């Protein structure tokens, strides 16, 4: 094929490109675009040609234009000292107002006398790359919590009921609200719903609504347009837009102000929102998962929470029980955290002493699983190896150190199943705590007396040996 034939087929050649291409005149007017750019931006070629390139709202270009104020050229690309842009990560504004992350390369074109003819840019859509980055982060978090049900450790009847509700909630697109005391694992439950649901291939966006003022909260949730407020130097997508096609988890939902509650209700009802400082509605398809440790019904009575929003988010309620109501899960949690910290620190610590385990089983755990994890993390700093004793535990466990008892050892078997550890070690600790009373031990573990008898038989637990160990 000769050169003139190539030139005649140039449009067809350019339209075979997967990446977007745009040619810009020296005055900033768009001269040509290919079909890939039309697909990327949502604009047809006739809607772009002749219009200023600023129509596409590239945030990198906005900064490049601002930096050239007072120069003879209007954009840094047309600066003779530069004349090119290499692999700049930025975002384009689509016709529907949404933003798409892109990677841009640009080069200045010159005539034979070296005068600028215009510029050519290639635009690569990296939204899929962003999604994969989020997936890698999610998998990294998942690898750090490989035990139990999607990272949630618990073999007690109360937690088994929670797991069943999570599975059923995951199969639906209805809003879910997770309630429970601080430290019970509401974030893990929300992530489990995403991992088990139909939207698991989509993004998972987590955001805490606490400790943010009204304007900053709205900007984080819905994004903002350039110039919407002082410091808004570029447009920014919000958490809802980032969660499109997936799930968004709003923690501490009881802390959001009433004005933001009204806007959140509109998103739930219309699946549309507007960025701060912008009036163009943006459609979003994201399932909402909320969580709180506050009493929303009390907030309703006080007028601090909208009743219509409450009924909108309270479609599938999930209540996470506090650790003091599922003490049978303590040994399994201890096993999980000890294995994790041992891998992380390299310390040869393989379990708790008997007195330390009994202390854990009698502790009220006001901070729930978070407190237990923190106690073991503290112990790993203090202890050097072997087993963790009472002397290695944080100060709030100090009273237990004064109780006379034989030390003994309750070792954690790295290869043992958490459920078995939960049953056997919890049963031994409960029997010791209740003085061998099987009825009281059953009540403490949340099971019936027959179950206690069957587990004693299953694990070969003799009451006399347990009480005199």
Is residue 241 within 8 Å of residue 294, measured between CB atoms? Answer: no
Distance CA 356, CA 375 (A): 11
E-strand ranges in 131-286 read 176-179, 204-208, 247-251, 272-273, 282-283
The secondary structure of 76-138 as a DSSP string is GGG-TTT-EEEEEEEEEE-TTS-EEEEEEEEEEEE-TTS-EEEEEEEEEE-HHHHHHHHHHHH
130 pLDDT above the threshold of 60: yes
The torsion angles phi and psi of 21, rounded to 5 degrees, stand at -135, 135
In order of their start, the domains of the chain are 3-125 (3.30.450.20), 129-321 (3.40.50.300), 324-468 (1.10.8.60)
Strand partners, 105: 122
Tokens of 190: 């929300």
Q: CB neighbours (10 Å) of residue 245?
A: 13
Interior angle at CA 337, CA 331 and CA 343, nearest 5:
135
What integer is the mean pLDDT of 439-450?
Answer: 74
74 pLDDT above the threshold of 70: no
| All residues at 6 or more sequence positions from 158 whose CB lies less than 8 Å from its CB, including other chains | 321, 325, 326, 446
The torsion angles phi and psi of 71, rounded to 5 degrees, stand at -90, 165
- Secondary structure element (H or E) that encloses residue 388, with its range: strand 386-388
**What's the pLDDT score for residue 355?**
87
pLDDT digits 0-9 by tens, 15-41: 888 899 999 888 889 999 999 999 999
Between the CA atoms of 324, 328, 334 and 339, what dihedral angle is there, to the nearest 10 degrees? Answer: -140
pLDDT digits 0-9 by tens, 286-331: 999 999 999 999 999 999 999 999 999 999 999 999 999 998 889 8
Residue 169: band (very low, low, confident or very high) from pLDDT cuts 50, 70, 90: very high
CA distance to 390, 409, 468, per residue, from 406 (Å): 12, 9, 9
């Amino acid at each position: 094929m000769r050169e003139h034939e190539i030139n005649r087929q140039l449009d067809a050649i350019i339209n075979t490109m997967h990446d977007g291409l745009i040619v810009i005149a020296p005055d900033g007017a768009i001269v040509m675009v290919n079909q890939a750019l039309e697909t990327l931006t949502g604009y047809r070629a006739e809607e772009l040609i002749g219009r200023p390139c600023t129509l596409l709202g590239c945030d990198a270009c906005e900064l490049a234009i601002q930096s050239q104020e007072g120069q003879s050229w209007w954009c840094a690309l047309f600066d003779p000292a530069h004349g090119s842009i290499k692999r700049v990560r930025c975002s384009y504004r689509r016709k529907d107002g949404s933003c798409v992350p892109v990677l841009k390369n640009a080069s200045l074109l010159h005539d034979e006398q070296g005068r600028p003819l215009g510029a050519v840019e290639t635009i690569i859509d990296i939204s899929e790359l962003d999604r994969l980055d989020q997936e890698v982060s999610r998998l990294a978090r998942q690898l750090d919590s490989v035990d139990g049900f999607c990272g949630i450790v618990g073999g007690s009847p109360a937690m088994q009921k929670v797991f069943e509700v999570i599975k059923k909630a995951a199969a639906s697109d209805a809003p879910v609200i997770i309630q429970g005391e601080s430290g019970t694992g509401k974030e893990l439950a929300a992530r489990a719903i995403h991992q088990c649901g139909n939207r698991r291939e989509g993004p998972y966006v987590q955001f805490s609504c606490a400790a943010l003022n009204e304007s900053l909260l709205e900007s984080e949730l819905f994004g903002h347009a350039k110039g919407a407020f002082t410091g808004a130097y570029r447009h920014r997508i919000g958490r809802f837009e980032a969660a499109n096609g997936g799930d968004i988890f709003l923690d501490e939902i009881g802390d959001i102000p009433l004005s933001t509650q009204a806007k959140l209700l509109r998103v739930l009802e219309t699946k549309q929102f507007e960025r701060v400082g912008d009036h163009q509605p943006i459609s979003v398809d994201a399932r909402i998962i909320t969580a709180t440790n506050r009493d929303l019904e009390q907030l309703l009575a006080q007028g601090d929470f909208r009743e219509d929003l409450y009924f909108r988010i309270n479609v599938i309620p999930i209540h996470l029980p506090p650790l003091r109501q599922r003490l049978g899960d303590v040994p399994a949690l201890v096993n999980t955290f000890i294995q994790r910290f041992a891998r992380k620190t390299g310390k040869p610590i393989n379990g708790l002493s008997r007195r330390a385990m009994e202390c854990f089983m009698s502790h009220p755990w006001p901070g729930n699983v978070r407190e237990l994890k923190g106690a073991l993390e503290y112990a790993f700093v203090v202890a050097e190896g072997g087993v963790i004793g009472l002397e290695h535990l944080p100060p709030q466990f100090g009273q237990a150190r004064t109780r006379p008892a034989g030390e003994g050892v309750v070792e954690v078997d790295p290869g043992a199943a958490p459920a078995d550890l939960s049953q056997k070690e919890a049963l031994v600790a409960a029997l010791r705590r209740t003085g061998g009373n099987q009825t009281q031990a059953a009540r403490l573990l949340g099971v019936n007396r027959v179950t206690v008898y069957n587990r004693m038989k299953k694990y070969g637990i003799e009451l006399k040996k347990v009480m005199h160990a």
